[in-house]
Structures are given as C-alpha cells and as structure tokens.
Amino acid sequence: IFLEIAWEVLEKTGHLFPVYSKKIAIYAGSGSNTYYVNNLLQFPDLIENVGSLQVLTVNEKDYIASRTAYHLNLKGQAVSVNSACSTSLLAVAEAVNSLRSGHCDAAIAGASSITSPINSGHIYQEGSMLSADGHCRPFDNDATGTVFSDGAGVVLLKRLTDAKRDGDVIYGVIKGVGSNNDGAEKGSFTAPNTEGQANAIKEAIIDAGIDASEISYV
C-alpha cells in the first residue's frame, strides 16, 4: 500500500523517473507486519519452497524505504524511521532537514500501518496506551490514550524556491520542525512525556522563527 501511494504522489506531481531525474530521497516508516505473522508463518512449507531469506526480506517492515526506492528508482537517501505514533511526523522532519542540507532535490515522507487480519475491535486494558473510552483527545487534559486504525499517507516535499521555479502545486509550507526523545522520563515505555512533547513544539516554533502567539490553528 505504501509503495502504491508513493508511486501515486510522484505520478500526480510529475516526479516519476525519468520525467524527473534529480535526486529524490525517501523517509518512511511502517507498523508491524501482522500479515507475515498471521498469514504466512502458519505455512512453513510455503516459506521453505520460496526461501526463508526471501520471505523475510520482502516482509521486513524496516525495508519500506529502500524497497520503495528500488521500485521507483529513487537515488537519494532511503531511510526507514520508527518512533511509534509519531513515525510519519518524524519522517517529515527528517525530509525537511535533508532538503535544507542539500542532500536531495525532493523528498518523499510518510508512513503506513495496516493490521491483517483485524481480529478484534477496541479493547482497553489498564495501563495500556489505548483510550479508556475509545476516543482520541489530542492536547486535552481529558485524554486517556489513543485509538488504533489502518491507514497510510505520503507527501512530496521540495524547497520552496524549487517548487515555485518548477511550477508545482503548493499545498502548504513547513516553516519549522522539532523532534526529541523523552529518555527515561516517559510516563511508561509506550506513553510520551508531556514536557517532552512541549519541548518538541518549542523547538519547532524556534526553528520557524515565529512567536507562539502567531499560531491560530492546531
């Protein structure tokens, strides 16, 4: 699915090779490959016939960036990232920094998370990251956790001057990014620390060179 939408974003924007031959990087992440665990491991004879190394290679989630680069002939960096729930945002931040440093002329950034098969609905467990009432409430004091779902998303990023020069359709401008880690100060291993999140937001605001009072929508 990620490969399909990566191709789609390049095709729709006119950046497929060889139409666009400059250096395109990719920063991407993926959730755990439950298809391999739930659908393939129960057929050891099939795995043996195909070759266990081959099966493991094509099902390894950490090859998502390099596999996409291979199929779409992307010559920039191909970096798989994983920061759990913030993976797609971290991919965007890495792409922004790569463009700023001149390592690439364009960058694909995104992530996917697909569960196969879906064996259950939303099941709350005390102390888990899942919401107690089945609702997400970002930046809310009443938030009790997250809700999982399936999805995938990809964006194509370029330096603003290059996008204007090339006549690209510009949907938005990223002025600043911020990223960090909570270290040992997490609420739990799977729960982020509010202070750490606030610091990441502060980094993005400083990076953008704006004042927090200028932000009108979150």
With bands split at pLDDT 50, 70 and 90, how would you rate the model's confidence at 188?
confident
Question: pLDDT per residue over 131-147, tens digit each?
Answer: 999 899 988 889 888 88
Confidence of residue 209 (pLDDT cuts 50, 70, 90): very high
- For the segment 85-98, the average pLDDT, to the nearest whole number, is 97
**Do residue 161 and residue 141 come from a single domain?**
no
pLDDT band at 208 (very low <50, low <70, confident <90, very high): very high
pLDDT at 186: 83
Q: Are residues 76 and 20 in the same domain?
A: yes
Q: Dihedral of the CA atoms 12, 162, 108, 72 (nearest 10)? A: 60
CATH classification at residue 1: 3.40.47.10
Give the percent of the chain with pLDDT over 90.
Answer: 67
Same domain, 84 and 138: no
At 115 the pLDDT is 85
Does residue 9 share a domain with residue 99?
Answer: yes
Q: How far apart are CA 186 and CA 211, in angstroms?
A: 28
Same domain, 129 and 184: no
What are all long-range contacts of 12-19, with beta carbons under 8 Å and residues at least 24 apart? Answer: 13/156, 13/168, 13/169, 15/106, 15/156, 16/72, 17/72, 17/73, 17/74
Sorting pLDDT into bands at 50, 70 and 90, what band is 113?
very high
Query: Are both 101 and 128 inside the same structural domain?
Result: no
- β-pair type (24-30, 78-80): parallel
- Total domains present in the chain: 3
**Sign of torsion, CA 207 92 27 21?**
negative
* 213 & 184 share domain: yes
The pLDDT value given to residue 77 = 98
Q: Give the residue numbers spanning the domain of 39.
A: 1-115+150-174
Q: For the chain, what is the mean pLDDT?
A: 92
58 and 157 together in one domain: yes
Answer whether residue 119 shows pLDDT above 90. Answer: no
Residue 125 CA: distances (Å) to CA of 57, 128, 131, 136, 146: 33, 6, 9, 16, 12
* 81-100: average pLDDT: 96
Single out the residue in 106, 131, 146 at which a domain terminates. 146
Q: Per-residue pLDDT for 2 more than 80?
A: yes
Confidence of residue 23 (pLDDT cuts 50, 70, 90): very high
Q: Please tell me the distance from the alpha carbon of residue 129 to that of residue 147, in angstroms, as a whole number.
A: 9
Based on the fold, state whether residues 90 and 168 are members of the same structural domain. yes
Averaged over 69-74, what is the pLDDT?
97
Whether 23 and 33 share a structural domain: yes
Determine the Cα–Cα distance for residues 123 and 118; give it in Å rounded to an integer: 12
Q: What pLDDT, on a 0 to 100 scale, did the predictor assign at position 35?
A: 85
pLDDT attached to residue 162: 98
List C-alpha distances in Å: 50 to 36, 39, 119: 14, 15, 27
Tell me the pLDDT band of 218, cut-offs 50, 70 and 90. Answer: confident
Indicate whether 128 pLDDT > 90.
Answer: no
Residues 10 and 42 in one domain: yes
Indicate the pLDDT class of residue 174, thresholds 50, 70 and 90: very high
Query: Do 182 and 164 fall into the same domain?
Result: no
